[in-house]
Structure 1
Amino acid sequence: MRKIFVLLASLGLVITGALFPVSAQASTACDNAWHNATSGYFYAYDYINCGGYLGKSNGNDANWGNSSGGFQGTDNNRAHSLLHKGTSGMAVMVFNGFNHSGNWSCVKKSEYYVSNLNDDSLAGGAGSSGASNTISSHKWVSTSSCGTSFLH
């Protein structure tokens, strides 16, 4: 009888972890950011959990380090979290190189946000690389263009 109780308790913890995979703090902070975000835009943040706003863009930005577009100057290679509040249904493909080059991954509209890029990596270029502090450009693409490379 005791083994059944332990088994049921363990199963309950596994189910709870599957239903609520992010911490309450991350969920609350990014949920709040998502609800306050302007529809039609892609956002990047300097800190995990959607803190430290870097910029937003409703179009493509081939160089986060220049002085034009939604991301500028010191925004290059600083993102630790991302938020997708697009309205077109398209995904946002992020790259570690300028001009939409290098390793990449995507954020689907249905994902809403990526609260901690430290947990993710970019692929599709030469090998793979960590996603945190590496994003230099982005573009809006059809979800099918992303294959299976999605940030979570």
Structure 2
Amino acid sequence: MKKIRPIGVAMGIAALGILLPTASAQAQAPAQESVGVTANQCATVLADPAHRGYVLAYDGTYCAYSGYLGRASGDDSYWGNDQGGFKGRADDKASSVVNAGVANGWGIVAFYSQSVGDGGELCLGPGDYIDTLATDRAGKLQKFSNGAPADNNITSHYWVRHCSSQNFGY
């Protein structure tokens, strides 16, 4: 009988372990992760009074500050030199842009795929942004007026009264 008793106790403890798992074995809710998710900061950038009167560009979608390329209140004929608001090889890197300009007659920003306003044109009205230059809000490829893709393809910009191509990005 003494030999049966320890076996019975061991079986009882094992059964109890199955019915009442320890705290470390209980299921834990997985931690929330934001891997690969970027919050859209474009509206926040647009609303910031410090940016009023500027066009801003970001190397990355959704105006993530980590990809900030620069800003300009005037024209910039070549984003790849050290003049104007976009410096240090900012050309052909923008994936999101914000027009925080004012509707004063020169509030439209015309982006170009080449320097000095050459190549295709893509315009952005005052108080608007393009959070991803890869696709428009309808999911179609965002393009310059000459058909070239807009993402990572801006080389210059000018403030204009009218968008000559009527090719507005959104």
TM-score by length of 1: 0.75
What is aligned with 2:157?
138
Query: SS of 2:62's equivalent?
Result: coil
Indicate conservation of the 8 Å contact 2:69/2:94, yes or no.
yes
What is aligned with 1:122?
144
Identity %: 31
What is aligned with 1:34?
46
Distance in 1, matches of 2:78 and 2:112, equals 10
User: Which runs of 5 or more residues in structure 1 are unaligned?
Assistant: 1-23
Distance in 2, matches of 1:147 and 1:60, equals 18
Distance in 1, matches of 2:151 and 2:165, equals 21
Moved over 6 A (4+): none
Alignment of 1:67-82 (within 5 A): 67-82=82-97
* One-letter amino acid matched to 1:69: G
User: Which runs of 5 or more residues in structure 2 are unaligned?
Assistant: 1-37, 136-141
Higher Rg of the two aligned structures? 2
What is aligned with 2:124?
107
What is aligned with 1:49?
62
* One-letter amino acid matched to 2:116: N
Query: SS of 2:51's equivalent?
Result: coil
* One-letter amino acid matched to 2:144: L
Q: Which has the higher strand share?
A: 1
Indicate conservation of the 8 Å contact 1:80/1:118, yes or no.
yes
1:38 is displaced (CA, Å) by 1.6
> Do residues 95 (structure 1) and 112 (structure 2) align?
yes
Indicate conservation of the 8 Å contact 2:123/2:167, yes or no.
yes
